[in-house]
């Protein structure tokens, strides 16, 4: 089976231990020594880590789409693929940053099963989605589009398809941020309602990010002038997310609004609250803090 040979080849050529997984490794096990984790692959912590490690990355997904995306696989074929891999005892090469030679490791059955399942090989677009892709998507971009859509667990109502169609028709695939913009759009598709207007949905998302940004910026200013113990005693809550995260999501939303609809909306930063003790009594400061972070 060609797909079984491809999976073996991908695993044997090397799985990369990326920085985020290295951080997770050290935080979970108190050490960045991957060989210690591989030596005891059956413990619950090691098994959870290995499922993360043997997760098809974007390059693997795109390669799969280019080679096998047009083939319609059945659930039976997926089960047969897993059994074939388990019987052959696949040995993977794990490439660790800073190490000249990869670590060789026989992939446990559960990790092989997880790798295959996460390829989502049985996925096929619904009839309306497939017809739209055939009509709009540029042939050279289609594997990248399908590789991303294959990740989604959506029933695909018409409004979601409209947004994807508009993106494919209007966002130039020569732009440097096209992949990031498409990934962002698909990450929020599950939130749009079947009767919601797409531009209004994007503006509402931007306003949500704007509110979160304001709270994060306020909290950062307070943190720089007061210690955390004082803020906690005053009832302040740590803002969810980072300033950089909310700014980037606002930027991506603006990018989509401008390219898909030729317009966007801007929101006014709220006036700063003065918390100077010389200007306000203590009880007023406390009420302002509670209101600010509620």
User: What is the arithmetic mean of pLDDT over 236-260?
Assistant: 85
Question: Which is higher by pLDDT, 22 or 148?
Answer: 148
pLDDT band at residue 294, thresholds of 50, 70 and 90? Answer: very low
- Asked whether residue 139 carries a pLDDT value surpassing 60, the answer given is yes
User: What is the arithmetic mean of pLDDT over 225-230?
Assistant: 60
pTM for this entry: 0.80
pLDDT at residue 269, as a whole number: 67
Token pair listed for 38: 């591989």
CB neighbour class for 253 (10 Å; exposed up to 12, middle 13-18, buried from 19)? buried
> Of the given ranges (66-70, 189-193, 242-246), which has the lowest mean pLDDT?
242-246
User: What is the arithmetic mean of pLDDT over 17-37?
Assistant: 84
Contact (CB, 8 A) for 199 and 232: no
- Asked whether residue 183 carries a pLDDT value surpassing 60, the answer given is yes
User: What is the arithmetic mean of pLDDT over 151-170?
Assistant: 95
- Asked whether residue 39 carries a pLDDT value surpassing 60, the answer given is yes
Percent of the chain with pLDDT over 70: 85
pLDDT at residue 138, as a whole number: 87
Domain residue limits, the chain: 2-119, 127-191, 198-293
pLDDT at residue 18, as a whole number: 86
């Amino acid at each position: 089976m060609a797909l079984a040979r491809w999976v073996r080849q991908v695993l044997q050529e090397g799985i990369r231990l990326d920085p985020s997984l290295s951080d997770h490794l050290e935080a979970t096990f108190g050490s960045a020594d991957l060989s210690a984790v591989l030596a005891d692959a059956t413990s619950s912590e090691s098994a959870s880590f290995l499922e993360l490690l043997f997760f098809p990355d974007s390059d693997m997904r795109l390669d799969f789409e280019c080679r096998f995306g047009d083939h319609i696989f059945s659930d039976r074929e997926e089960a047969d693929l897993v059994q074939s891999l388990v019987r052959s005892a696949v040995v993977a090469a794990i490439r660790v940053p800073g190490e000249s030679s990869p670590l060789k490791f026989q992939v446990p059955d559960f990790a092989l099963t997880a790798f295959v399942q996460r390829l989502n090989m049985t996925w096929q677009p619904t009839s309306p989605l497939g017809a739209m892709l055939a009509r709009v998507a540029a042939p050279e971009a289609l594997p990248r589009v399908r590789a991303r859509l294959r990740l989604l667990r959506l029933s695909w109502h018409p409004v979601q398809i409209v947004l994807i169609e508009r993106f494919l028709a209007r966002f130039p695939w020569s732009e440097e941020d096209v992949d990031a913009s498409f990934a962002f759009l698909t990450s929020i598709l599950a939130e749009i309602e079947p009767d919601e207007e797409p531009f209004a949905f994007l503006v509402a998302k931007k306003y949500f990010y704007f509110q979160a940004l304001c709270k994060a910026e306020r909290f950062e200013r307070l943190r720089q002038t007061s210690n955390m113990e004082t803020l906690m005693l005053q009832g302040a809550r740590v803002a969810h997310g980072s300033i950089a995260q909310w700014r980037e999501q606002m930027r991506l939303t603006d990018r989509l609004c401008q390219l898909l609809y030729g317009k966007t909306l801007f929101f006014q930063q709220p006036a700063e609250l003065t918390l100077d003790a010389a200007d306000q009594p203590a009880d007023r400061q406390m009420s302002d803090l509670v209101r600010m972070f509620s």
